Structure 1
Amino acid sequence: MRKILVVGAGQSGLQLALGLQSHGYEVTLMSNRTADEIRSGRVMSTQCMFDTALEHERDLQLNFWESQAPKIEGLGVSVAAPGSHDPGPTQRAIDWVGRLDGYAQSVDQRVKMAGWMETFAERGGQLVIHGAAVGDLDYFSRTYDLVLVAAGKGELVSMFARDPERSPYTEPQRALAVAYVHGLGPRAEHPDFHAVRCNVVPGVGELFIMPTLTTSGPADILFWEGIPGGPLDVFNGVKDPAEHLSLTLELMEKFTPWEYARASKVELTDAGGTLAGRYAPTVRNPIGRLPSGGLVLGVADVVVANDPITGQGSNSASKCAAAYLASILEREDKPFDEEWMDSTFERYWATAQHVTKWTNAMLAPPPEHVLNLLGAAGQLPTVADRFANAFNDPSDFENFFYDPEKTAAYLASVAGA
Structure 2
Amino acid sequence: MRKILVVGSGQSGLQLALGLQSHGYDVTVLSARTPEEVYSGRVMSTQCMFDTALGHERDLGVNFWDNDAPRIEGLNVAVAGEGKPMIEWVGWLDGPAQSVDQRVKMAGWMEAFENRGGNLVIHGVTVSDLDRFVNLYDLVVVAAGRGELVELFGRDASRSPYTEPQRSLAVSYVRGMGPRPEHLRADAVRITLIPGVGELFIIPALTTSGPCDILFFEGIPGGPLDSFADLRDPGEHLHRTLELIREFVPWEYDRYRDAELTDAHGTLQGRFAPTVRHPVGTLPSGGTVLGMADVVVANDPIVGQGSNNASKCASIYLNRILEHGDRPFDTEFMQRTFDAFWEDVQYSTNWSNAMLQPPPPHVLELIGAGMKHQALCDRFANGFNNPKDLFDWFMDPEKAKAYLAELEANPTAV
Q: Identify the TM-score tier after normalising by the shorter chain.
A: over 0.9
Pair 1:394-2:384 in alignment:
no
- Which ranges in structure 1 are unaligned for 5 or more consecutive residues? 82-88
Pair 1:209-2:202 in alignment:
yes
Taking the aligned partners of 2:396 and 2:129, their CA distance within structure 1 comes to 48
**1:37 matched to which residue of 2?**
37
Q: Note the alpha carbon deviations across 1:36-57, whole angstroms, 9 max, x for none.
A: 0000000000000000000000
**1:409 matched to which residue of 2?**
402
In the TM superposition, what is the alpha-carbon distance from 1:283 to its structure 2 partner? 0.1
Match of 2:11, as an amino acid? Q
Taking the aligned partners of 1:360 and 1:184, their CA distance within structure 2 comes to 32
Pair 1:168-2:149 in alignment:
no
Identity rate of aligned residues, in percent? 67
Pick from 137, 147, 154 the counterpart of residue 144 of structure 1.
137
How does the TM-score come out when normalised to structure 2? 0.98
In the TM superposition, what is the alpha-carbon distance from 1:185 to its structure 2 partner? 2.0
The 3-state SS of whatever aligns with 1:262 is helix
**2:190 matched to which residue of 1?**
197
**1:309 matched to which residue of 2?**
302
1:53-68 equivalences under 5 Å are 53-68=53-68
1:44-123 equivalences under 5 Å are 44-81=44-81, 89-123=82-116
Match of 1:6, as an amino acid? V
**1:135 matched to which residue of 2?**
128
Q: Which runs of 4+ in 1 moved over 4 A?
A: none
Pick from 144, 156, 162 the counterpart of residue 149 of structure 2.
156
Residues matched between the structures, number:
410
In the TM superposition, what is the alpha-carbon distance from 1:258 to its structure 2 partner? 1.1
The 3-state SS of whatever aligns with 2:174 is strand
How does the TM-score come out when normalised to structure 1? 0.97
Pair 1:261-2:217 in alignment:
no
**2:212 matched to which residue of 1?**
219
Task: Indicate conservation of the 8 Å contact 2:175/2:259, yes or no.
Answer: yes
**1:343 matched to which residue of 2?**
336
In the TM superposition, what is the alpha-carbon distance from 1:273 to its structure 2 partner? 0.3
Q: Note the alpha carbon deviations across 1:50-101, whole angstroms, 9 max, x for none.
A: 00000000000000001100000000110012xxxxxxx3131110010000
**1:297 matched to which residue of 2?**
290
**2:237 matched to which residue of 1?**
244
In the TM superposition, what is the alpha-carbon distance from 1:192 to its structure 2 partner? 3.1
Pick from 373, 390, 397 the counterpart of residue 366 of structure 2.
373
Q: Note the alpha carbon deviations across 1:315-347, whole angstroms, 9 max, x for none.
A: 000000000000000001001111110000000
Task: Indicate conservation of the 8 Å contact 2:300/2:352, yes or no.
Answer: yes
The 3-state SS of whatever aligns with 2:230 is coil
Match of 2:254, as an amino acid? A
Task: Indicate conservation of the 8 Å contact 2:84/2:249, yes or no.
Answer: no
Q: Note the alpha carbon deviations across 1:170-229, whole angstroms, 9 max, x for none.
A: 000000000000022234333430000110001000000000000000000000000001
In the TM superposition, what is the alpha-carbon distance from 1:378 to its structure 2 partner? 1.5
Taking the aligned partners of 2:251 and 2:187, their CA distance within structure 1 comes to 17
Taking the aligned partners of 1:43 and 1:297, their CA distance within structure 2 comes to 27
**1:182 matched to which residue of 2?**
175
Query: RMSD of the TM alignment (CA)?
Result: 0.7
Pair 1:363-2:353 in alignment:
no
Q: Note the alpha carbon deviations across 1:256-312, whole angstroms, 9 max, x for none.
A: 011112112210000000000000000000000011111100010000000000000
Taking the aligned partners of 2:219 and 2:28, their CA distance within structure 1 comes to 39
Taking the aligned partners of 1:338 and 1:404, their CA distance within structure 2 comes to 40
The 3-state SS of whatever aligns with 2:326 is coil
Match of 1:5, as an amino acid? L
The 3-state SS of whatever aligns with 1:261 is helix
Taking the aligned partners of 2:210 and 2:84, their CA distance within structure 1 comes to 33
In the TM superposition, what is the alpha-carbon distance from 1:403 to its structure 2 partner? 1.4
The 3-state SS of whatever aligns with 2:125 is coil
Q: Note the alpha carbon deviations across 1:359-386, whole angstroms, 9 max, x for none.
A: 0010000011100001101111000000
1:325-336 equivalences under 5 Å are 325-336=318-329
**2:19 matched to which residue of 1?**
19
- Which ranges in structure 2 are unaligned for 5 or more consecutive residues? none
Taking the aligned partners of 2:389 and 2:178, their CA distance within structure 1 comes to 33
Taking the aligned partners of 2:156 and 2:179, their CA distance within structure 1 comes to 43
